[in-house]
Structure 1
């Protein structure tokens, strides 16, 4: 007799040494090795083991590769004729200011209110003359205004009016004389200012632009007496104009002033290209890189001076490098190098170097190597040695990162053979290369030679970490811990200290010393909270807590830790993810406890719906259907979400297990009718057949049987279920022939539970018909061919025992029942039924 044997859920704690990856894309340079020893057992396809601690990268960016990779920064050439440029700017700005502003018109009111004691004749003649001017009666207006006598504001106003009349008649020289005369009078300051402006404007029109600057400057100072170019922050047109005219501009005001004029001609745009470029250079030298980028982007769009436009692109790329926009820097350096005008500039070849560095920073190592080599080839022997050595080191790093170890070694050897200032770095990298090629013995010798030859090397702590780490990767944990502890003591301020502690913690964990490992990881979190290792340590602490099934303590610890100064939202997510990981492990009991702790910690959690789903499903799996329904129904009563479909499946399964078939029908029909849930259509229809059978609604049952049989997407198991429940219905109705036919169809359809049940029912029917030999044969058919269906296999063994008993073989019947009682582990009616049968056989004896 064959019975299915089940092993206990036995597991060994994995020996996890961590991963020290060759993550060359991030500049790492260590061996990648993980050693695991684990035994595992699963039940019915469900992994019940605790999840092993995730692989942990116990290194950050590999310090030698990036800390030493410092691009040489160039300063832009500011050798410009600033005086000439500023004068040109003043002329252009003044011209555009005049274009934007009309002549100041003569006026009478409010002079009559300001000067009521003036001569009545002057008041009247000025008023009538201004009215005639506005009525375009220029000859009459000139005659009347000429009658106004000197020495008051009305006379000053009349002179302005006569200047405008001369303008209207085309006599600009006469107009200039009148405006100048009015500008020299002090009777009324506003009229004097208007005279200054009109005089400056007409000078500009008479091709005396340079002469126009002084009266314009006087006009602005007089018209806006409170305006200070140094302190005014309002940035009006006049304040910018004042700065330009005063000659103290740093080009900033000029840029904004010219950009505010919409009718710029080519001459204005040419000067705008220059001042945006030079202002960009000023910003760059002031290290205001974002501002410089803005100016260079303005300058490069002008097509007039193509070399300047090319240089604007180059310096924009340099500024982008400085603000760590390396991808954009690569794009702009590349664009510069393609411009024909770039070839004649002094920075052309240096752009190869800068592009290479930018590409290196974003792990585009093949691009970096290409442009570093172009730079070396173009510069030749004229290149400064220190720059050459830096480029050679970066070429070695680039090829190392591309895992082209031969080329990398060639470049490092050049540094070593040349006795370059950075040869200790090259020697260290040679050791790393040897380790990557699997020669740890050579690596050890090379690393030791670094500190022997260069005892003051900046890489001494790197060596002190690397040597014991080799022992760690080879599984020599005692040697590794001793070496790492020595390194920590010798170099307490090294960036490798948190890495060393992480390694020690992993060794302790793998030795099943969770308490010591926890203490080590917590030290990393406490003392090195701003490092990448602190986040890794927090993950390790989580794994230890979850291994112990204590998510609540982990949530409390994590949300109170100093790692990254978690916001409330991040704390919420951290607590939730711990619960989720337990759920993913199928540790449903601890998952429920973790979700309860999550709700206790955050009364209004951000991931409430997902949390309720996890708790509902976990409660279902732990045998608490009523409590599960509370959470799951809250989800279903809300708007449709990403959890709705799975929740419907779980709730339907719950009601089926509770034999509340009407409630199950409600949720199954939602699955059936919603086109978004088509993947579960067959499941819904199959279980609707079961529900309608159980409540005795054979009409609806038959309707769904027909639907399922005609459904192209139905599985063999679903079709088998349809045949089997059709058979059950026929049996209840007394139609044994049709029932047998349906059972045979179900039995032949698949090896699913439904087919196993159908075959069992065929055997049972044969037994009831006293066809014991056939029943015995059919029972063996289930046992031998349906071994994945424990319940029906066990039921078939009981039926087999019944046939033995009917045929007089009570010894074999008892033996069969005893074997079931000894080996069957299911929590259902099998054991009770087997024990009852055995008891009856013993009494019959």
Structure 2
């Protein structure tokens, strides 16, 4: 391919003024001598134009009209005005001609004025006066001078045709010949009449004045005519003699491009490099020549360094450059960079072969490396649509299917397979359904995953069917369909490796949920016998094995199972200890029960079961008749766990102990405390009855009557109706007749707003409303429960109310409720729920320090669920980044990224790329971006955002083409991410403003 360079450089045309021999002017005066006139002539000849002009004016005024002397005086007056640059000079000349039309100096006046302007480099002014001259009245010498000067003025004024005609008359003239031939040849060059230009300029090859300039134009003419050998020959000679830097630069360019067109690339390179550009700036074409020369020498690094300076080109040169740039990148195994270059070349149609070849490379590289702009399947389908007859069609179709799977775009894969039905595609669709189901399951869209797993059970591949059965069972279990879960678990074969190691564990749990405890025990035991390498799972299985025996009332075996966890100090050892104590109680071994329960307080510092153990131990002391020990244990519970839900029951039981020991005053004190601190609780109602009994025993019924008047929830006359109304609603609740339960509880609360059962009615109503999805109506009732003194429903109501606020993004109320739950919860899962959502709430509220604080609390809990732990790590990572603590952010993003999948993995890879860029590890940063694009391109936001980092990396690595191309594509294609667009546009403006300093093809940005 040959690219001719059309230059517009014009050397400054020297203004050559050639005056012939002076012609003496003699003026014959037909008047008597005038002393003023001759004195004026003397002053004029001595260039004293101002005093001379005064005398000429005086002479004209004193001399009669139509006399030669007056005409002479007016002539010289006008000439003085011209010499002095007076504003009315032109008018004076024209006035002289008008007043003296037959004066012998008329033509001479036009010529002299023209010559004056010519000498002062005012070509347009000179031309105006030359055109007034009647050439027929001039002698030959004057005609030659006029032709030369008019020719030059016409040339400077860009009237090339007329100028050329004037110079043509002088070719061969002894005075003006060489000057005229130079300008004649130059005009022919400007008119691109290169043959005529060369014929004339070559005749000046030995002329000292014009030799250098003529040879330059001959050099350029030879180049444009394609005589590259001659261009090299002339150019190298010119370089030896040329001293002008700009001229040497331009000559080097022509020699270099001549060698280029001769395909002598090695010789072309040094000359192309010597070119300095226009004003120090190269064009895209200049970079192409040098880049291609290096490319042909297989110096790919140097070729890239020039090709990648071609920014924003939209012509054949640019398309070729981008294509060869792509090839250079491939040679150096830089596939991501090659993808961008081929994509750019494929978007141009200047050369159809290059377009198609670029498209093929772009499609294959998209499959191999991932594509940041479109999904890989989109690219492959677009290629197939564009080139349906390509010999590559079959292989691209194969890549298309696998690309869906590689990109984890299972939805797209299924759509394509279902739209292109063949027996093979139908089989494959069943396989792909399994992966789509797992994808949805991992996204916690359990119900949506079920149909995909069901389709996968129809696959022909036994392994696929086995996995599908397993996941169908998991899905059924999590949606509460335990019978269906058991059916599918029974179809799963364990001979598939570690994936199904916990199959027995899952089956055991399913039987446990179905309350088939003997079967559950069997499978828990089977699982434990396999010694799966998961301590927490084994500990849980041992506890559930114990629970299965416990529920079957086989307490001896239950104790044996629990003891395994206790002896190994495993997860849930405090629970096992508690259950062991309870089991001994059911075996009638009260002392062993108490002994085991007391170990919880002594050996498990952080156990949430301490108050449970104290409560059960105290009750056991009571049943043994050891009132003193019972009271001491109850007191310990009251002191150590003042917020325990057992408090009202403990007070009630203490009152009963005092009552049974005839300590009525103490009994009344305890009962009344229950009523005052826990009104509307079941214990409060019982306490009222007990107070009544004590007063009856004391014979002080009047005192009881006075006291009970102040108990708001007791209305003796309505008590029976209150109970009956509540009991009716509660029966519907227990029968799962939710709609009628809602109506019943609502009726009760309307009739008895301060009734005996108000607390329970509000809680049950809230539960019923929540069950039918009316969470907004349920929330006030949960709130009512939480505002009462702590009771057995407080904890669950706080959790439900907090969840309601979270679901509605009401973080302010949610955070306040979660704080209360954190302080008052007894169940570990509710504490974790509170703390994990507090960290999320503070993050959403942009209180990053508090978000980190609660995330760290979550991580301090060794029993926290893996998913919650991952959430805590990502909250710390994101919050640290927001507060510019990059060191901590990087540590936690790295930690999260170890096990992250899907969108979260894409986010971690983005931040990895960000931190590497921040450390100036640009190539490593690009590798992180490449990993993200290749494997997680479905998560567009992080992919596009990471591409901004890649652009920054490339610019830091001096690859301006990659940087600008990436940023321009982001701005053009991803309007749905305005924050990323803004960042990309700002970066693009910065780069283009810098590149415009050295590349003439790049326009500065505002």
TM-score over 0.5 for the alignment?
A: no
For CA contacts below 8 A with separation 6 or more, give which structure has more relative contact order.
1
Provide TM-score, normalisation by structure 2: 0.29
Provide TM-score, normalisation by structure 1: 0.33
